[in-house]
Structure 1
């Protein structure tokens, strides 16, 4: 029985990672929403308890499945799932490689403690929180698994629609105000996304990522110029999602206005933009893309370094802890994309390790900020003198740990990640710029968080008209933050195997020919089967012979 279940899961693993949150969300909607009746008890209270149990069971199962995906991907085998048994590039495919498996695992590693924290009471402050949370996970997993640019757009829209509602969860004037900005900007980006996809399709005749990469490499003349323009359009779209300068201005206010568990979940949202930039500009417009190779190289590195610098300056100027952490999110994205923009496998590997660390630390800090704010009276998380927190030692040590992690102090994984970045960029033309920005950002991160800690724990000035908090933090809420701290320590302990995995991931991403062979089922040297325009004329490229005995160099498994 177990063998049959495992075999079924292994065969359908890519699509099951998307279907699990979908089925859970539908079940939660059918169960009904009891959040509005919890205060009065009765059936509403019962429905809310069952909703929590079902949602938590789903994310735990998703975490186990994600671990299985990483184990499967670590063998180097690409698992290609053809929906409807339509072969690529004509049908929709989902592809499990080392990068997609890693990103799905990161999603659930963040989701489990965040949802546990939300069940402490945040899920009762609005309707259908758990269903929306599951739809968000569906969009995230789908974006990481899809092998098609148009379906990347579709999953982007799914996760964004869920995020629109989650952002205003709990209501409040500031959330609605920032929600309007967030929706308008993302709808504009979605329109631009479609324009970029239309430009890609006009010169390649396909939107399958592997096939687009093959076709772009053969473009010349005006078609190559149009492909380069499409690359820049897509960089603008994904740059807005990732909060890249000059498109980062929406993030600090939006994340600061969101509730703590939503902001913590949103820590993975910017990484969807980073992932899309990696997938697009390594697989499609990478070094083997002919005249369109590295079309964004002249833009990505300087913009990323500027993002990192401006992010930490924003953290220094922040007047609240939530905005400070939001600006640190921007700064970490800049550091990540700077490594991506160097276009070497060593820097990409360092970026992936640092991405794991920064996402976990930022998510934990958002939860910790609310725990501190709840004990400061009306000041909340504002950086000004206020009531003394009830647990200064516990919360102070937790903030110290988070600050050391974010700043990159040894022996924590932030230090290891930045050391990898410095080592991988040594000897490159941009070494001086990268080293200067990374080291200065680390120093100013320490300064910003130390300033915040002094205000929160030393500038204590109780006001007579404010009542002292009667109790400390809930053990349930604290346990979610402890989980992120434990994950941070685990990254330090397991740094060597994680680094080997990211090294293999970067090497696999650089081998675009093997990716195309695995996804399209081509033998080395065989042409694609798509129809594309070439030098102004449409040509139908012949399909590979049906009796061809040649096999791809990279092992691949096709499932349906």
Structure 2
């Protein structure tokens, strides 16, 4: 057996072992060594992710059975085009966050680098797992790490936001277990492929119980994704935590979206018999309302970090629209937009940290303050990111929104979706224009004497910003890959097919 046969498990094992090693006294006392280890680990994960992308594209879906136990009895990790793409995205995001934090943010609290590794382990595991119980396990891993990362550096606001964040997620975790118990009671399995096979065979009474469990899972994943009306925790949590943590959290809501896609787009999709598409009547209005509330909140934002947090909510609503459209074309558009929105929002969080650092007491609030020493450089990056987040050409936001609008074929749906997505873009344009005016033009007095940005911080932002035009330049291959991911996602995978993949 060659090393390439173990590619699927590496995105989980690499951050796990590096995180454990970084807890050793000889390494925990040396910040420079921790930085080297975590950067090397993320570069390794990026290489593994690229290899996995190519392997899935050329050889199809990959399955890894831990202990060589066949499904549904053993723990399985499954890499299809969608999960491989998400692993690559988390590796890039993890690398840029660590680079940014290595300029000094990681000094503000203990165990920053091990916690980042465990967080990435949980995120990668959630993308790769082939059964619902281990999805819960990986959710808990990433959440436990996020509880500590949320208060990295200390402070009253962080602690207050963390209390709400922990409390809500503990409720969500409890409901998650109730939902899994309900589904296991009727299906006798929690393996995704096995569940998909058994759902159409349920009796009428079993269908009612299974439906309640499935909709409970929708609420749990909706809480993780910040779906209306479970979105209220996000702006406070994301705007209060440290800059690199907020940037990493840009992918956290996408884990919830990914889980909704997996559970309700596949297992309770077209092949689910009487339970087919049970979430769609709920997702459709919730998606539209999430966009609307997110856009209103964007307009009311009083700081750049809060504004960016509300833009995350708008992106969540937009992605829920693509799930509710329930087609390969819409899923293709949604996958492309998911990658774009995660990168753009993470980059804006990092930029907000630099602005906050250079404006002194004014931080990133939209108030008159002294000019920043690097305002021209920061203003240029802000303009690029604003164009990407609004969805204007020539950056990838325009391509993503164009693909979504193009995927809408029903006239009634078109009226709602086009109006809300384009309206949210217009509101974002107004809000970001006001933000740019306040931060870069409404200045008084001489430049501040605050610390200027470190070159490695600009490198981290440049990596993310540079990906936005590259997503346009390589839009054809990326869209083709997104379509492959959508086709595999919508087709699903039976237990027999899963075990054939393992052979």
> Where do residues 327-476 of structure 1 align in structure 2 (5 Å cutoff)?
327-427=310-410, 429-462=412-445, 468-469=448-449, 472-476=452-456
TM-score for both structures, normalised by structure 1: 0.88
CA distance in 1, matches of 2:230, 2:85: 26
Going from structure 1 to structure 2, the CA distance change for 1:267 and 1:480 (only over 3 Å counts) comes to same
> Where do residues 24-173 of structure 1 align in structure 2 (5 Å cutoff)?
24-32=18-26, 44=29, 47-75=30-58, 77-173=60-156
How much has 1:449 moved relative to structure 2? Answer: 0.4
CA distance in 2, matches of 1:32, 1:133: 19
Counterpart contact for 1:33–1:127, Cα < 8 Å: no
CA distance in 2, matches of 1:109, 1:428: 39
Instruction: State the match for 2:457 in structure 1.
Output: 477
Counterpart contact for 2:360–2:450, Cα < 8 Å: no
CA distance in 1, matches of 2:91, 2:142: 15
- Provide Cα deviations, 1:62-112, integer angstroms capped at 9, x if missing partner: 111011111111125221111112111111111111111011111011111
CA distance in 2, matches of 1:557, 1:231: 28
Counterpart contact for 1:349–1:503, Cα < 8 Å: yes
How much has 1:461 moved relative to structure 2? Answer: 2.7
CA distance in 2, matches of 1:236, 1:98: 26
Instruction: State the match for 1:300 in structure 2.
Output: 283
CA distance in 1, matches of 2:491, 2:129: 18
Point out the more displaced range, 217-226 or 231-240: 217-226
Instruction: State the match for 1:241 in structure 2.
Output: 224
Counterpart contact for 1:260–1:367, Cα < 8 Å: yes
Counterpart contact for 1:9–1:16, Cα < 8 Å: no
- Provide Cα deviations, 1:7-34, integer angstroms capped at 9, x if missing partner: 6332111112111111101110114565
Counterpart contact for 1:210–1:520, Cα < 8 Å: no
Instruction: State the match for 2:498 in structure 1.
Output: 519
Counterpart contact for 1:78–1:518, Cα < 8 Å: no
CA distance in 2, matches of 1:380, 1:462: 16
Point out the more displaced range, 125-134 or 219-228: 219-228
The runs of at least 4 aligned residues of structure 1 exceeding 6 Å deviation read: none
**Larger helix proportion, structure 1 or 2?**
2
Instruction: State the match for 1:40 in structure 2.
Output: none
CA distance in 2, matches of 1:440, 1:76: 42
CA distance in 1, matches of 2:131, 2:229: 28
Specify the SS of the correspondent of 1:294: coil
- Provide Cα deviations, 1:165-208, integer angstroms capped at 9, x if missing partner: 00000000000000000000000000000011111111100000
Counterpart contact for 1:219–1:290, Cα < 8 Å: no
Counterpart contact for 1:255–1:326, Cα < 8 Å: yes
How much has 1:256 moved relative to structure 2? Answer: 0.1
Larger Cα-atom Rg: 1
Specify the SS of the correspondent of 2:315: helix
Instruction: State the match for 1:501 in structure 2.
Output: 481
Instruction: State the match for 1:316 in structure 2.
Output: 299
Going from structure 1 to structure 2, the CA distance change for 1:418 and 1:148 (only over 3 Å counts) comes to same
Instruction: State the match for 2:7 in structure 1.
Output: 13
Going from structure 1 to structure 2, the CA distance change for 1:377 and 1:351 (only over 3 Å counts) comes to same
CA distance in 2, matches of 1:120, 1:51: 13
TM-score for both structures, normalised by structure 2: 0.98
Counterpart contact for 1:203–1:226, Cα < 8 Å: yes
Structure 2: runs of 5 or more not aligned: none
Instruction: State the match for 1:39 in structure 2.
Output: none
CA distance in 1, matches of 2:129, 2:3: 18
CA distance in 1, matches of 2:32, 2:54: 33
How much has 1:220 moved relative to structure 2? Answer: 2.9
CA distance in 2, matches of 1:268, 1:59: 16
Counterpart contact for 2:357–2:452, Cα < 8 Å: no
Structure 1: runs of 5 or more not aligned: 1-6, 35-43, 522-555
